[in-house]
Chains A and B, each alone.
Chain A
Amino acid sequence: MISLAGRDILHAWGKFVFTGIGLGLLIGVTLTMAGVYRGMVDDGRALLDNSGADIWVVQQGTLGPYAEPSSLNDSTWRSLRALPGVQDAANVTYLTMQVQRLAGNGSAADAAGTARAASDVRAMVVGIAPGGSGTPGWPPYLVAGRQLTRSHYEAVADIASGLALGERIQIRRNVYTVVGLTRRMVSSGGDPMVFIPLKDAQAAQFLRDNDALWQSRHRTAANPAFNRPGVPGLLDAVIASQSSNPSVNAVLVRVRPGHDAEEVAASIQRWQRLTATTRAQMEDILVGKLIATSAKQIGMFLAILALVSAAIVAFIIYTLTLGKIREIAVLKLIGTKNRTIAGMIVQQALGLGLIGFVVGKISATLMAPAFPKYVLLVPEDTAMGLAAILAICVLASGVAIRAALRVDPAEAVGG
């Protein structure tokens, strides 16, 4: 028995294939949208994975360095490091800011102050404690260059920032040289990370700008309590104490193998009077709270796109069927069974769906790297997408089948 659907498709294959490709682009957008959602969740997880920590210790009563601002004394890590069950503890600071790229790398030009910012990069600047690769907070792997070796003025940047090896960037008042590149080191918002030594990051985050320092010095000098005649040195001491801020955002704690992170966290909470968040709780905060609204937004888009796809498939199949209504009438006239005709339409719908899926998958995969935010295409999503498309196609062909079955065979000879 010849395939009616195949014959019909061959008859108008151009129309069919191009409709399928059109549909495929729509499906591609749907898959990409799902990928954007997965990417957001993955950004959050990547942030946690990359920090290499089991417990995040932050200021008491705050939700951690990613969700809320937190400020700790930078000597806190010592008391944490001495706790049983703690293998490693390292300070870390996070600051999302605009990083200036300096045009050229002529150092003399920088010194002369003629360097202009070629462009800005929005990035999360991470201050990592000295100690070499493997220390909590350090990027776990590189794709080019090397890890930081100097304790100042070097940076490892995520490749998404567009920075290249050897490029010079300005963070607040200091110029840094990019010595290494990483991949998928992003903040929960998807901003690329730039790793710099902790002391520089502390200065960038907590040291005020020159104007503020000047004003604060003058204010202090004008205060008779701090500027007493007959007490030489008091003013200098007060000013010095005002212009230092030994704070960090969090301490990353790695738990010794064989110890329970929950227990260590509970002990830190109880005895150090700090908030300690375990990996599971952190994921809950990041995925559950930080990106909840965005996730709903994308879910909404997904639902609308699915509806639109269904409507388009239904409409196309219906139009294709109406286009060959005379042929169907002839088929009926020669006594073709309804089931065969319905089968033909369903097969065509499924074929359309398959072409659409293939094109969609290809376009989604090819488009994904071009998106500014990370798009993660999960195979389960693709499989679910295929099932959904096929289901939608079958459902959408219902209208066309109904129209085809209601054709009066007499039309074949009438018209």
Chain B
Amino acid sequence: MSRLPLQRRTLALLAVVLPLLALFIYVVLRSGPLAPVAVTVATAEQRSITPALFGIGTVEARTTYHVGPTVSGRVLRLSVEVGDRVTAGQVLGEMDAVDFDERLRAQAAAVQRAQAALKDAQARQQQAQTQATRYAELLAVRATSEEIATARQQDLASANAALAGSQAEVARLRAEQEALRTQRGQLRLRAPADALVTARLAEPGSTVVPGQAVVDLVDPNSLWVNVRFDQTSAAGLAAGLPAQVLLRSDVGAPLAARVLRVEPLADAVTEETLAKVVLASLPTPLPPLGTLAEVTIHLPELAAAPTIPNAALRRVDGKMGVWELGADGLRFAPLVLGQADLDGQVQVHSGLAEGARIVVYSEKELTARSNTHVVDRIVKGAP
């Protein structure tokens, strides 16, 4: 047996076994508890942020008119359709008059009768007046008894009262006639203002009660967005702040808007603060009422302060803070945090020295004893 083949064999064996061993050692060190945790680091930068609030709301109309009859009745006809624009005073429809005209005629007859009764009372009063005067003159010359003269005086008083009663009766019947006429006029449903028809709630032939709406109108110029903000993120919300509205029906075009008012009443059930946001200009066509909208409100820019990404925040032993990567390893730094913006930047009030290296992302949850190894990024392709 020559030495060369043996050597070659040994070499070949080593060529297989040694890489295997090296790979093994690498694998043991790079996986399991011995492996270092990949982390990315950042330094707290002095910068100013523009906090913003985010809420969702629905497009609503500030002014809504529910037009309906003042008396029970049947709808005779409706002349407007949903979507129609109407002007103030325009007749939208009419209620069925049913017996109104007959009642008006009856009322007119009653007035005539009362007027006839009034004439009769006038005649009687004149007669009583004449008699009373005559007997008064007779009594002056002692040509009649005082008793008779007093009786005539009393007749005159009665005739005066009857006349006043008749006059009042005429006035009453006239007023009732007026009331009926007015009610007859109210059977026409008129638009109270320039508006847009949003609903026809009853159709001709249906019976409605007072207070029930037949046609719903809204003032299209009074559109606003009723926005709800989660109470934890509603700090700084105030009237007049600029806002951006993204309608669900058109997410491509953000609309400029501003906060009209913050409602003094918050929703206690949903734990939300409510605000009204008005659009700077109305889009055409108008968004349907009830459309969902995302609203972003821009708060004033804050003064520059150390700022960290919110991904760096951890909670350790009940305290919020970050893992600071010093020369001697990891140290947990509890922080007092300030405001944050929607891009996830948080201002730090205290707890962090400027320029401190902090862990932003980590492959695993960290502890003070974690062995770390700094990388550019943990997820491939992530910025």
Contact = CB atoms under 8 A, between A and B. Distances in A.
A333 interface: no
Contacts of B341: 149
Interface in A117-170: 130-134, 140-147, 149-153, 159, 164-165
Contact of B20 (A87, A142, A232, A355): A355
Interface stretch (B92-100, B114-122, B135-143, B248-256): B248-256
22 contacts: A17-B16, A49-B365, A75-B269, A107-B251, A111-B248, A111-B249, A133-B310, A143-B379, A144-B377, A145-B382, A147-B310, A147-B344, A151-B55, A164-B381, A183-B363, A232-B211, A232-B212, A246-B269, A358-B24, A362-B23, A366-B27, A377-B31
Interface string B1-43: 0000010011011001100110110011011111000000000
Contacts of B54: 149-152
B346 to A, nearest CB: 9
A246 B267 CA distance: 14
Given A111-B249, A133-B310, A140-B365, A17 B379 contact: no
Interface in A244-263: 246, 254, 256-257
Contacts of B378: 143-144, 183
Given A140-B315, A141-B365, A153-B294, A146 B12 contact: no
B32 A379 contact: yes
Give 5 nearest A-B pairs by CB, closest first.
A146-B344, A134-B315, A144-B382, A150-B54, A151-B230
A362 B310 contact: no
Nearest to B317: A257
Contacts of B311: 133, 142, 145-147, 180
B248 to A, nearest CB: 8
A320 B224 CA distance: 88
Interface in B160-179: none
Nearest to A159: B379
Contacts of A140: 314-315, 365
Interface string B312-349: 01110110100000000000000000001111100000
Contact of A141 (B56, B209, B364): B364
Contacts of A130: 230, 232-233
Contacts of B9: 10-11, 13
B381 to A, nearest CB: 7
A279 to B, nearest CB: 16
B157 to A, nearest CB: 53
Interface of A: 9-11, 13-14, 17, 49, 52, 75, 87, 107-108, 110-111, 130-134, 140-147, 149-153, 159, 164-165, 179-181, 183-184, 199, 230, 232, 246, 254, 256-257, 355, 358-359, 361-362, 365-366, 368, 377-379, 382
A361 B252 contact: no
A10 B10 contact: yes
Contacts of A232: 209, 211-213
Given A107-B251, A361-B24, A10 B6 contact: yes
A185 to B, nearest CB: 11
B207 to A, nearest CB: 8
Contacts of A179: 344
Nearest to A255: B318
B51 to A, nearest CB: 10
A10 B13 contact: yes
Given A355-B20, A378-B32, A141 B362 contact: yes
B233 A151 contact: yes
Nearest to A357: B24
Given A111-B251, A141-B366, A144-B382, 11 more contacts: A110-B251, A134-B313, A140-B315, A142-B311, A143-B382, A144-B383, A151-B54, A151-B230, A256-B318, A377-B32, A379-B34
A306 B174 CA distance: 111
B365 A108 contact: no
B269 A183 contact: no
A87 B318 contact: yes
A315 B298 CA distance: 76
B55 A52 contact: no
Contacts of A378: 32
Nearest to B360: A142
B199 to A, nearest CB: 12
A377 B31 CA distance: 8
B250 A52 contact: no
B313 A133 contact: yes
B67 to A, nearest CB: 14
Contact of A152 (B56, B211, B363, B364): B56
A134 B55 CA distance: 22
A81 to B, nearest CB: 12
A143 B365 CA distance: 10
Interface in B350-383: 361-366, 377-379, 381-383
B83 to A, nearest CB: 22
A208 B290 CA distance: 18
A164 B377 CA distance: 14
A378 B363 CA distance: 18
Nearest to A358: B24
B229 A151 contact: yes
Contacts of A361: 24, 27-28
Contacts of A355: 17, 20
B382 A150 contact: no
B309 interface: yes
Contacts of B28: 361
Contacts of B309: 146
Contacts of A153: 56, 294
Q: Which residue among A131, A146, A180, A366 has the maximum number of chain B CB atoms within 10 Å of its CB?
A: A146
A11 B8 CA distance: 11
Contacts of A358: 20-21, 24
Contacts of A9: 13
A152 B295 CA distance: 11
B5 to A, nearest CB: 10
Contacts of A159: 379
Q: Which residue among A132, A140, A151, A377 has the maximum number of chain B CB atoms within 10 Å of its CB?
A: A151
Nearest to B24: A358
